[in-house]
Amino acid sequence: MAEGAKTEPQYIALLRPRCLAALVEVEVVDEPATDPRSLVRRAVDIKADAQRAYRRSKDPNDLVDDVWCVFDVDEHLFLREACEQARDNGVQLAISNPSFELWLLLHFQSQTAYLSRGDARRSLQRHIAEYDKTIPSLGPFEGAFDNARQRAIALERKHEGDGTLFPQDNPSSGVWRLVNAIEGAY
């Protein structure tokens, strides 16, 4: 489940061929959810539906190991509540602060200073001139996933080291965890 209407679902769908495990399925739910709390509620419902289907069928193909929500920090009123609800219901989160564009930017450069949404987009456009909230292919990002992952992890360590807590941890991105899960690199 992704908050963004274009970028996040496109990126995740493009990752589908990177799945290493035969039974990994990436499904992007394209619903007009407007806030993280709505996304998490929908993800909890999806997970519960899958668990009910498995209990009825006993078919291992009906098992769902992970359900993820992808969203930005933005100015959401119920961000903490959404995170708590996800934690309490076993829903995984891939949160970017300030926006998903930061995750994309980390493929090309380090970014440790505070960043606005507009700054993230403009910085990304220096690397992908035609970028405008759509990702037609993973081509520009190929070969840079490990760099982005390492840069995102370094940002987490930086915030831990200086005591910066969520959601003040701008810049940060947990999308690397979702990519790891998709690639089977737990």
Residue 163, judged by CB atoms within 10 A of its CB (0-12, 13-18, 19+), counts as exposed
pLDDT at residue 22, as a whole number: 45
pTM of the model: 0.87
What pLDDT shows up at residue 175?
95
* pLDDT at residue 171, as a whole number: 98
In sequence order, the 6+-apart residues with CB closer than 8 A to the CB of 104 are 7, 11, 124, 128, 131, 135, 141, 148
Low-confidence ranges of the chain (pLDDT < 50): 22, 185-186
Check: CB of residue 176 under 8 Å from CB of residue 109: no
What is the pLDDT at residue 186? Answer: 40
Model pLDDT, residue 123: 96
pLDDT recorded at residue 185: 44
What are 163-185's pLDDT values in tens digits?
999 999 999 999 999 988 888 74
